[in-house]
Amino acid sequence: MRNRIFIITGTSKGIGRHLAELCLEKGDAVYGIARGASDLGNTYERYTHVQFNLEDIHHIDELISGILEQIPLVSVECIGLINNAAMLEPLKPIDQCLATDISIHLNISLAAPMILTSSFIRYTSHMAVPRKIINVSSASGSYPAPSMAAYCTSKAGINMFTQCVAMEQASHSTPVEVVAFDPGMVDTELQAVARGKSAEEFALSGAFRDAYELGQLKSPRDVALEILKLLEGAKEQ
């Protein structure tokens, strides 16, 4: 049995759950991090669920070190981190967003992936095997939209962060491969939240509904397959 280990955030549903299933079906071991519970461990012996709220950024380093302490790293063939978890809200003009709304969003969608990446690189620095980090991004990181300031900003930050870390790693003898992946529009709970709002609440809700009704959304499993291809070795920025 091959011994590849993947740490995936947001495995209780959507893209994260499908990606975890695909990896597990291939015989990989998965450590899934999610705020909610998961039943994947009932089906897959090599799945370990870690229930953790990524809003709690001050304990993420302890979280990663704790996970890696459970893994016999000497026998690992490849190890990866997939920063998939994110949130969409608040979906409203910035003057209607409370400080708490903004703080929670940026902690989960931007600060947490940054800290996860930092800790992952630090605690695996002694390993000579392939190490990979995939940060799930969005076209919203490049295209501004009304009432989406928090989301667009966090995804733009993910893109720039990924480029900076990739440049840092380029000078290492055993660099971590760091990639930002834009999945496109996906039929996830985040998309359902956006299209479920009224035009008064969120000006672009109609556009999200149209994309759904016209069948323009990718399935979470298809996106998970694309991410799996990156984990299998394809390099894409």
Query: Tell me, what's the pLDDT at 35?
Result: 94
pTM of the model: 0.92
> DSSP letter string over 10-22?
-TTSHHHHHHHHH
- Could you tell me which CATH class the domain 4-184+220-231 is placed in? alpha beta
Say which residue the tokens 């011994």 belong to: 3
What is the DSSP code (8-state) at residue 217? P
Catalytic residue set: 151
Could you report the per-residue pLDDT of 124-161, keeping only the tens digit for each? 999 989 999 999 999 889 889 899 999 999 999 999 99
Query: Tell me, what's the pLDDT at 1?
Result: 59
List Cα–Cα distances, 24 to 2, 47, 131, 166, in angstroms. 11, 7, 18, 27
Q: Is 167 exposed, middle or buried (0-12, 13-18, 19+ CB in 10 A)?
A: exposed
Bin 29: left if φ > 0, else alpha if -120 < ψ < 50, else beta.
beta
- As given in the structure block, the two tokens for residue 141 are 């990181």
Q: How confident is the model at residue 236 (pLDDT cuts 50, 70, 90)?
A: very low
